[in-house]
Structure 1
Amino acid sequence: MTARPGFGVDDLLAEARGELRRVEPAEADELRRAGALLVDIRPHHNRLAEGEIPDSIPIERIVLEWRLDPFGEHKLPELTEDTRVVVLCNEGYASSLAARDLRRIGLRHATDLVGGYRAWRAAGLPIREGGTQPIT
């Protein structure tokens, strides 16, 4: 096998996680109950098949930065740079990259869920039927 030149996806992931204080499912649930914004970046078909976290907001990855830029004109109305945001995906990989990007655009309390939605579900935390249409 040929060695990969440069910076690979595993390096990118490790770098992103080095910038975050990631949260376990129980802590994410505490944050949710305290008013943090849980943002589900999983595709609609995953949410439909597996369910969703109550009070989470589905925002697909393609528009994430535009909806969560605390200084942008397309942001969610209630969002500020001090909003606590926990990003989640299926298993906690894409969410680490997304949370890192959100921090870079000024959302200083952005982080992600260790193990993603599947860890949340495995921990026995509340879920609901999925399929909520994402914010576009």
Structure 2
Amino acid sequence: MSTLDAILDDARSHLQRLQPHELHQLEDALVVDIRPAHNRLAEGEIENSVVVERIVLEWRLDPAGEWRLPGFTADTTVVVVCNEGWASSLAARDLQKIGLPNATDLVGGFRGWRAAGLPIREGGSQPVV
């Protein structure tokens, strides 16, 4: 096993990862899309998701930070979405470390969501800056 695989396995051992249909049925979750703009433009986005670039993710979601997004608390379920569910696992782990114990990610990422035939918003939203 590579070092990266071990890090990913460790990160996922702390997450209650969601399947696409589980996320679709979940109410009151904050869905955060960390994918690059070119992916979002080409493939679309999950309806009601918020785009936060990975480089500012912790600052926008720090429950006690002055730069945090409005409308969520430390108890909010935050679901991070990337292309295929790899980078999102590491990002969700990092969000747990800054005080979001219910942070997790989407198994299969956006592409798993799309393959499940769930609703997609066309085009790409501007990231929260």
TM-score (norm 1): 0.92
1:82 aligns with 2:75: yes
Give the 5 Å matches for 1:52-67: 52-67=45-60
Give the AA of the match of 1:28.
Answer: L
1:36 aligns with 2:29: yes
Which residues of structure 1 form unaligned runs of 5+? none
Which secondary structure state, in structure 2, belongs to the residue aligned with residue 23 of structure 1? coil
Query: Which range moves more in the overlay, 70-79 or 106-115?
Result: 70-79
Give the AA of the match of 2:75.
Answer: D
Match of 1:26 in 2: 21
Q: Distance in 1 between matches of 2:31 and 2:102?
A: 12
Q: Distance in 2 between matches of 1:118 and 1:130?
A: 15
Give the 5 Å matches for 1:1-136: 8-31=3-26, 34-136=27-129
Q: Distance in 2 between matches of 1:68 and 1:130?
A: 24
Which residues of structure 2 form unaligned runs of 5+? none
Runs of 4+ in 1 over 2 A off after TM superposition: none
Give the AA of the match of 2:102.
Answer: H
Identity between Structure 1 and Structure 2 (%): 66
Give the AA of the match of 2:60.
Answer: R
Which secondary structure state, in structure 2, belongs to the residue aligned with residue 86 of structure 1? strand
Q: Which has the larger radius of gyration?
A: 1
RMSD over aligned Cα, in angstroms?
1.2
Q: Distance in 1 between matches of 2:72 and 2:115?
A: 30
Considering fraction of residues, name the structure with more strand. Answer: 2
Q: Distance in 1 between matches of 2:64 and 2:78?
A: 15
Which secondary structure state, in structure 2, belongs to the residue aligned with residue 79 of structure 1? coil
